[in-house]
Structure 1
């Protein structure tokens, strides 16, 4: 990677900077357990119902929206998430990578589909927030990163030159819309968690460890 060609780095959070196992376990196990208890269901019944509802919202902002799921499931999702916040973990080498970006004078911007409440919990439990020039949630615009319009909306908050911008994300649909918008360097983070399968980059440039792309 030629860092001389890059001024701005857009970074996803969950799976890219943080171990995705926290979110996976939360939605696949913790939420169904709470739902089962509240509605007098078996765990398997709760899992089936919730997994179907989650699947129906794939690719939409609702999929990421704690308010939507709190209302839909009649659970306080943000409060439930706080109960498990000690399980939030940063990927190895991430802090070194973020520090190197700052040392090399890059503009560093988080662009996450995560709800603001979820973002706040994760910033509270990690040290990543201090390394960013701007923290952007897709909920600020009402559209997810799967929607190409978000990349021009971001320009109103944090102007950037797409031809000199790197986007690092584990979301292939987000990488695709960014590439269509004109972001020159879409890069797939394939190692989302030691406990989950690696992402198939499907032709996108990719990496597993941040040491592979560390600015020198």
Structure 2
């Protein structure tokens, strides 16, 4: 992990799920809990539930619908918010993420959350993990109508908060989103090696990976 050139970074943009929060909660919900509850509530087998859900997930992956609880509630005829509450005890902060947030705020950096999470999902998580005080703004891509994978998201973010891309650091666990940020001109990009603490580490390809938030504080 190279030392970040903190003197050239004014703004820190941070993803939430998989970056600051353990992705285990989201993976458990979408891959296990939702198919099980879909099967129970629609009176089908678990195998049939997965056969019905998989093409829908594949069709909408990377779009704003993928992250929208209202969309999935309508599409699946299920109370998604209530179902997410059923395993909310799994929502957890990644190790030392709060130490990192406190240090960059103390150092005078502008800290902004940018998440694809729906506002209801964001609220659910902020009720269980105290993140809001560390941030100047908490921005959901649903506020703009475009996911972070889209160039239009970055245009909207620029118009909204007026940051300087070349003097910004962005950390995310999704490579397609990091590539979109790079295309926009964000100068410092880091991927997350292990978004889900109970899954295998990922290949972050061309991006330097975060494995320990304390390491990022060197030279701050």
Relative to the length of structure 1, the TM-score reads 0.97
| Contact 2:11–2:110 (CA under 8 A) maintained in structure 1 | yes
Q: Which one of 114, 125, 128 corresponds to residue 125 of structure 1?
A: 128
Corresponding position: 1:98 with 2:135: no
Return the offset for 1:52.
2.1
Number of the residue aligned with 1:206: 209
Return the offset for 1:157.
2.2
What root-mean-square deviation, in Å, do the aligned CA atoms of Structure 1 and Structure 2 show? Answer: 1.0
Corresponding position: 1:67 with 2:38: no
1:30-49 matched pairs, under 5 angstroms: 30-49=33-52
Distance 1:205 1:194 in 2: 19
| Contact 1:22–1:88 (CA under 8 A) maintained in structure 2 | yes
> Structure 2 regions of 5+ residues with no counterpart?
none
Return the offset for 1:156.
2.5
Number of the residue aligned with 2:21: 18
Distance 1:199 1:167 in 2: 18
Corresponding position: 1:149 with 2:127: no
> Structure 1 regions of 5+ residues with no counterpart?
none
Number of the residue aligned with 1:181: 184
Greater Cα shift, 155-164 or 3-12:
155-164
Distance 2:74 2:52 in 1: 15
| Contact 2:38–2:49 (CA under 8 A) maintained in structure 1 | yes
Number of the residue aligned with 2:31: 28
| Contact 1:170–1:199 (CA under 8 A) maintained in structure 2 | no
Over residues 144-169 of structure 1, what are the superposed CA-to-partner deviations in whole Å (9 max), with x where a residue is unaligned? 01101211201232110001000000
Relative to the length of structure 2, the TM-score reads 0.95
Over residues 47-84 of structure 1, what are the superposed CA-to-partner deviations in whole Å (9 max), with x where a residue is unaligned? 22112211111111111110110000000101111121
| Contact 2:166–2:186 (CA under 8 A) maintained in structure 1 | yes
Could you say what secondary structure the match of 2:44 adopts?
coil
Could you say what secondary structure the match of 1:14 adopts?
coil
| Contact 2:36–2:49 (CA under 8 A) maintained in structure 1 | yes
Corresponding position: 1:112 with 2:104: no
Could you say what secondary structure the match of 2:214 adopts?
helix
Could you say what secondary structure the match of 1:210 adopts?
coil
